[in-house]
């Protein structure tokens, strides 16, 4: 594998740019937004809520006069992030909002968001005893609240902070394990008073109510979760050198680089600014490592591709404490284990992770069941680079939810 690649705009940041542009008064613009289906769903939802969205010269322009009650169901597609964030955002707005998505998203837990929001006074109901979408939000007056003991989830934290914008007093979330801080940092950028206080062993994030966010121009850096596929691809294939350009680097997002460095990977960050770097990666002899504990949120989306790296490493790697994988776009413990087994890798499934014994022999020709999960499909595509025959990746169209064109880019790098 050889060459340079610039992955699409970060998906987490793109969602937030669009939602904050809806909450702002006036004209916002977004450069290098993610072009995947998930962020398209977010654009569709802000249009349904009254914003005018257009695209000019590769940038998205959003004109907003605030949230209006929609005339249709808000369709989140495959995006759990959108479902959680939009629910929190809407909880304090007068109106009737129904949110629903595809079969996968409508099977993912929503009680983790509905219950804390209800304790702020939100009126939200959902299928299956208020645990799943479709959900209905009846906007209501919200009270500020301090939360601790929530799951280590940036989506849950973000839903609460966005609801807090409309509460009658400040709202805080105390985090013991850090999760991606994009919502709180981006709220600060649009004029919201957000305090982030280190309590020694935990962090308190407090948002002060604010209904007049500033419109602004956003530039989205490349997605580290997409960069991870090319980095691992370069590491596990012979005579490879790849430069992945303009990637967002933040310790809550680049845990995969720390894991890979522990495995002996030749990777180098070439910083371009405080938070953006080019990542250089080249063929490496990998050794096993353990992944678990507080590290999990920083690698949560990269575990399937790290599982591919572990399958090529010398020794036995363990992933523990990753039960959250069970409630992603697919049950990613099951789909990752299934993928590795199909490739002929020695892997054990555990309730909260997996144990993988690596080898440097080729992967078997195989059929990979992805369960329509984009990250499993992309991990399988990288795995196929070290297979000694044909690999069929089922339902690979899911790749379009986060990275349309991924396969063509990968092919251009492998020549």
The residues annotated with a catalytic role in the active site are 301
Residue 133 binds ligand S3P, judged by CB under 6 A: no
Residue 290 binds ligand S3P, judged by CB under 6 A: no
Nearest distance from C-beta of residue 118 to ligand S3P, angstroms: 19
Residue 154 binds ligand S3P, judged by CB under 6 A: yes
Residue with tokens 């000694």: 388
DSSP string, 255-288: HHHHHHHHTT-EEEEEESSSSEEEEEEE----B-
Rank residues 94 and 202 by Cβ distance to ligand S3P and give the closer one.
202
Q: Which of residues 158-177 bind ligand S3P (CB under 6 A)?
A: 158
Residue 64 tokens, joined: 């907003």
351 burial via Cβ count (<10 Å: 0-12, 13-18, 19+): exposed
Q: Please give the backbone phi and psi of residue 68, each rounded to the nearest 5 degrees, phi first.
A: -115, 150
Residue 179 binds ligand S3P, judged by CB under 6 A: yes
Q: Please give the backbone phi and psi of residue 27, each rounded to the nearest 5 degrees, phi first.
A: -110, 115
Residue 298 binds ligand S3P, judged by CB under 6 A: no
| Cα dist from 18 to 69, 86, 179, 197, 219, whole Å | 18, 11, 20, 27, 12
Rank residues 252 and 359 by Cβ distance to ligand S3P and give the closer one.
252
Residue 300 binds ligand S3P, judged by CB under 6 A: yes
| Alpha helices (H) along 181-277 | 182-189, 224-236, 255-262
Pick the stretch among 41-49, 123-131, 148-156, 266-274 that binds ligand S3P (CB under 6 A).
148-156
| Three-class DSSP category at 112 | helix
Residue 180 binds ligand S3P, judged by CB under 6 A: yes
Residue 210 tokens, joined: 């604010």
Site string for ligand S3P, 4-23 (x = CB under 6 A): --------x-----------
Out of 29, 102, 278, 301, name the contact with ligand S3P by CB under 6 A. 301
124 secondary structure, DSSP code:
E
Residue 352 binds ligand S3P, judged by CB under 6 A: no
> What residues does 368 pair with on adjacent strands?
393
Pick the stretch among 150-158, 256-264, 340-348, 391-399 that binds ligand S3P (CB under 6 A).
150-158
Nearest distance from C-beta of residue 81 to ligand S3P, angstroms: 4
Rank residues 105 and 345 by Cβ distance to ligand S3P and give the closer one.
105
> Residues in the chain, how many?
415
Site string for ligand S3P, 73-102 (x = CB under 6 A): --------x---------------------
* Residue 401 neighbours by CB distance under 10 Å: 26
Residue nearest to ligand S3P (CB): 12
Sheet holding 353-357, edge to edge: 290-291, 316-319, 353-357, 346-350
Residue 330 binds ligand S3P, judged by CB under 6 A: no
Out of 153, 172, 298, 317, name the contact with ligand S3P by CB under 6 A. 153
Which residues make up the interface to ligand S3P (CB under 6 A)? 12, 81, 153-155, 158, 179-180, 300-301, 324
């Amino acid at each position: 594998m050889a060459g340079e690649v610039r992955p699409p705009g970060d998906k987490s940041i793109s969602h937030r740019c669009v939602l904050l542009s809806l909450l702002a008064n006036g004209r916002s613009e977004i450069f290098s937004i993610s072009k995947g289906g998930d962020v398209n769903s977010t654009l569709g939802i802000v249009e349904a809520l009254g914003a005018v969205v257009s695209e000019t010269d590769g940038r998205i322009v959003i004109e907003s006069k605030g949230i209006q009650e929609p005339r249709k169901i808000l369709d989140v597609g495959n995006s759990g992030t959108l479902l959680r964030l939009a629910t929190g955002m809407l909880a304090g707005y007068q109106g009737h909002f129904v949110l629903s998505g595809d079969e996968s998203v409508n099977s993912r837990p929503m009680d983790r968001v509905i219950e804390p929001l209800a304790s702020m006074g939100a009126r939200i109901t959902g299928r299956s005893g208020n645990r799943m979408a479709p959900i209905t939000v009846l906007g209501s007056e919200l009270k500020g609240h301090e939360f601790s003991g929530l799951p280590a989830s940036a989506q849950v934290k973000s839903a609460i902070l966005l609801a807090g914008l409309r509460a009658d007093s400040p709202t805080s979330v105390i985090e013991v394990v850090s999760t991606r801080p994009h919502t709180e940092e981006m709220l600060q950028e649009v004029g919201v008073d957000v305090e982030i206080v280190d309590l020694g062993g935990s962090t308190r994030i407090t948002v002060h109510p604010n209904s007049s966010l500033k419109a602004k121009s956003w530039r989205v850096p490349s997605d580290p979760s997409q960069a991870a596929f090319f980095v691992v691809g370069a590491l596990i294939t012979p005579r490879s050198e790849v430069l992945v350009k303009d990637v967002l680097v933040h310790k809550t997002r680049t845990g995969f680089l720390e894991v890979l460095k522990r495995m002996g990977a030749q990777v180098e960050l070439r910083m371009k600014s405080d938070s953006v770097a080019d990542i250089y990666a080249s063929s490496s002899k990998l050794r096993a490592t353990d992944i678990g504990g507080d590290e999990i949120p920083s690698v949560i989306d990269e575990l399937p591709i790290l599982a591919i790296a572990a399958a090529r490493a010398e020794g036995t790697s363990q992933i523990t404490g990753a039960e959250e994988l069970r409630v992603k776009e697919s049950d990613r413990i099951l789909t990752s284990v299934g993928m590795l087994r199909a490739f002929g890798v020695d892997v054990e499934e555990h309730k909260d992770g997996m144990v993988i014994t690596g080898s440097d022999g080729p992967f078997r020709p195989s059929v990979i069941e992805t369960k329509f999960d984009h990250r499993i499909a992309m991990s399988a595509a990288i795995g196929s680079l070290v297979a000694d025959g044909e690999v069929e990746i089922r339902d690979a169209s899911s790749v379009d939810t986060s990275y349309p064109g991924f396969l063509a880019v990968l092919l251009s790098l492998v020549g």
